[in-house]
Chains A and B, each alone.
Chain A
Amino acid sequence: MTKVLLGQRAGFSVKTLGDYESGRATPTEDGIGSIAPVLRFPVSFFYRPELEEPPSESVSFRSLSRMTAAQRDAALAAGALAFELSQWIQKHFELTVPNVPDLSAYQPTEAALVLRNHWRIGVRPIGNIVHLMESQGVRVFSLAERSHQVDAYSLWYHGAPFVFLNTTKTVEHSRMDAAHELGHLVLHQHGAVRSRDVENDAKAFGAAFLMPAESIRSIVPRLTGPSFSNMVQLKKNWGVSVAALAMRLNKMGLLPDHSYRGICIELSKYGRTREPHAIVEREKSAVLGKVFGMLRESGTTKADVAKQLDLYTEDLDALIFGLGQMMASEGSSGQVRPSADAEQRRRQFRVYS
């Protein structure tokens, strides 16, 4: 949201907002009262210490080229909320210590194999990649900003690897995003210069991690002219999209160029956002599921957690894959649930939802 729009909605001049922003002036309680609903944060949020937002240079974004600066900032701000939540969780729960080695010395495809060996999973297909990453100490959250332009991003924060996944993509797409971000985490731990190469490295890593060459070669001969249903059958072995599999097979010399092109043309009929015979069940965080499950058992509601963090439950939900379903009785008890009115405003003002 721009300052002009916020000013219009909250009834302030742009100059006044600028003064608030720079610290030249401090908003009154009433002032915050009118700004808070426009920005869709509880009033208490504005009285808390400043959030630590990750510096954008240290973050690896997917789809970076198509993102606007505002979209990137929104995603990063959502990240800041996740760190708060993560710290809160760490205070109350014991989580796996991160076991994500620095593999920057390797080529991406080698690194994928090295990491698989390090994690002792050989070349087995990966069932749930979110759980796999979490079992090795990666903190995985869903992207609160539902921008279709941001697929995923990752970063190291106080020694812990974080991955954010967009939950509006197909499951196959999201799995590849996760593997891609894992690539950034092992290959670019020292904040490599963001460039085309870095993205290509992560892309190569992701493909090799989800579809190890040895695994493919063990069952796929050189194909002559596979049908679409052939490809759909094959992709189920690795839980990837037809597009990702076709590209991998083509690069490995197992799928002739003309067949690859033909499959790409067929795929284009599905559009960018649909996957033929897609996996239905989304991969969600096991850690967050367990945490909110245990909290609920001990009588702590999601709304309670949101309140402690000065968040709307809705924003909390957005970070935790909608996990930790509230009990029916909880619905009205959380003061942080936005009203229908707020929902209406949200639709009007939220640029990225």
Chain B
Amino acid sequence: MSMVQRRNEALVVAEPLSVQRRLQALGLTMEIVLNALEAGIGAAALHSTVNYPRNYGGTTFWAEVTRWLREYLVPLGWHRDETGGQPSVVRGDNGMAIVVVRGNEQTGDPRFLPTTEYKRGPVTIERVSRNVRLPFDDEPVETEAVEVDTSDGVPTWLLLHHRRGEELRSELSFPIAISKSGFVEEWGETIILPTIVLDPRNMPMLDDEPVNPDVDVRRRA
């Protein structure tokens, strides 16, 4: 793999209030995105005992985050899309699609440039190249006449996530370039999401002495 590169800070939104504002401008809220990620963590945690196939936790996470983004966003006018077999959720005005993808270790770090964890397939490659051709204008359009075209011309964002130790790092990023080997490696914009601290493997126990009183019973004289 190539050397870790520094990000262009001008393209990164990391300060919490700016993140809130930027997400709102895109028709999202921090709460929705974090809730969806937590739902994924919860579902994966319930399906990651050693007897499950090893990658099942990851698949569950991806499926549940996708699902919960849809659960929260569809009532707000977004819709589901599965074009090319790639599940996404698309804003009502077709101004933005979100795909859940695992990123590498740099994910969620405002200083360094992440890539996707895995090589991407033809659908992502197509979506990224379309992102480059599109005018970089992604705020919701308030018009009556919405172009109903779910596949072509929808700017695609990746919800990148990466679990590191006891933390889940994530960011919502706009991919604009893919390496020859198939990894997304350049981003037009990145919105850094707050780190989610995962539940400890061992839950805390109370120190307090449990109440176990003695019960007095005496025989009458």
Chain A interface residues (CB < 8 Å from chain B):
91-96, 121, 123-128, 131-132, 134-135, 215, 218-220, 223-230, 233-234, 236-237, 256, 258-259, 262-263, 266, 286-287, 290-291, 294
Q: Which of B3-11, B96-104, B210-218 contacts A (4 or more CB under 8 A)?
A: B210-218
Interface residues of B in 170-220 (CB under 8 A from A): 196-199, 201-206, 208-220
Offer 17 A-B interface pairs, CB within 8 angstroms, sorted by A.
A94-B217, A125-B210, A125-B211, A132-B212, A215-B206, A224-B168, A224-B199, A225-B38, A225-B39, A225-B41, A225-B45, A226-B199, A228-B45, A230-B199, A236-B205, A258-B64, A294-B217
Interface residues of B in 145-163 (CB under 8 A from A): none
Contact of B220 with A230 in the complex, beta carbons under 8 Å: no
Complex Cα distance, B215 from A290, in Å, reads 9
Q: Which of B41, B196, B213, B220 has the most CB of A within 10 A?
A: B213
Contact of A233 with B202 in the complex, beta carbons under 8 Å: yes
- Distance between B148 CB and nearest chain A CB, rounded to angstroms: 31
Contact of A126 with B210 in the complex, beta carbons under 8 Å: yes
Complex Cα distance, B196 from A92, in Å, reads 63
Residues of B with C-beta under 8 A to A227 = 45-46, 48, 199
Count B interface residues, CB 8 Å. Answer: 38
- Distance between A100 CB and nearest chain B CB, rounded to angstroms: 14
Contact of A131 with B45 in the complex, beta carbons under 8 Å: no
Complex Cα distance, B201 from A256, in Å, reads 18
B42 lies within 8 A of chain A by Cβ: yes
Residues of A with C-beta under 8 A to B46 = 227-228, 262-263, 266
Q: Whose C-beta in chain B lies nearest to the C-beta of A94?
A: B218
Complex Cα distance, B163 from A182, in Å, reads 46
Partner of A124, one of B35, B38, B204, B209: B209
Interface residues of B in 25-72 (CB under 8 A from A): 35, 38-46, 48-49, 64, 68
> Do A128 and B212 contact each other (CB < 8 Å), given the known contacts A92-B220, A93-B220, A225-B41?
yes
Contact of A96 with B215 in the complex, beta carbons under 8 Å: yes
Partner of B38, one of A128, A224, A266: A224
Contact of A124 with B199 in the complex, beta carbons under 8 Å: no
Partner of A224, one of B64, B196, B213: B196
A94-B218, A226-B42, A233-B202 given; name 12 further pairs at CB < 8 Å.
A93-B217, A132-B212, A220-B203, A220-B204, A224-B197, A225-B45, A226-B45, A228-B46, A258-B35, A258-B43, A262-B43, A290-B217
Considering the complex of A and B, which 5 residue pairs feature the smallest CB-CB distances, nearest first?
A225-B42, A225-B41, A127-B210, A127-B212, A259-B42
Residues of A with C-beta under 8 A to B40 = 225
Q: Whose C-beta in chain A lies nearest to the C-beta of B36?
A: A258
Residues of A with C-beta under 8 A to B213 = 131-132, 135
- Distance between B26 CB and nearest chain A CB, rounded to angstroms: 22
> Do A132 and B211 contact each other (CB < 8 Å), given the known contacts A230-B45, A237-B206?
yes
Residues of B with C-beta under 8 A to A236 = 205
Residues of A with C-beta under 8 A to B41 = 224-225
Residues of A with C-beta under 8 A to B199 = 223-227, 230
Q: Whose C-beta in chain A lies nearest to the C-beta of B215?
A: A286
Q: Whose C-beta in chain A lies nearest to the C-beta of B196?
A: A224
- Distance between A308 CB and nearest chain B CB, rounded to angstroms: 16
- Distance between B68 CB and nearest chain A CB, rounded to angstroms: 6
Complex Cα distance, B217 from A266, in Å, reads 44
Complex Cα distance, B219 from A229, in Å, reads 47
- Distance between A96 CB and nearest chain B CB, rounded to angstroms: 6
- Distance between B157 CB and nearest chain A CB, rounded to angstroms: 22
Contact of A219 with B204 in the complex, beta carbons under 8 Å: yes
- Distance between B78 CB and nearest chain A CB, rounded to angstroms: 18
Complex Cα distance, B198 from A124, in Å, reads 28
Complex Cα distance, B43 from A263, in Å, reads 9
Partner of B44, one of A126, A131, A225, A286: A225
Contact of B208 with A125 in the complex, beta carbons under 8 Å: yes
Complex Cα distance, B41 from A262, in Å, reads 11
> Do A230 and B198 contact each other (CB < 8 Å), given the known contacts A124-B211, A291-B217?
no
Complex Cα distance, B201 from A234, in Å, reads 11
Complex Cα distance, B68 from A217, in Å, reads 28
> Do A127 and B217 contact each other (CB < 8 Å), given the known contacts A225-B43, A225-B44, A225-B199?
no
Contact of B218 with A93 in the complex, beta carbons under 8 Å: yes
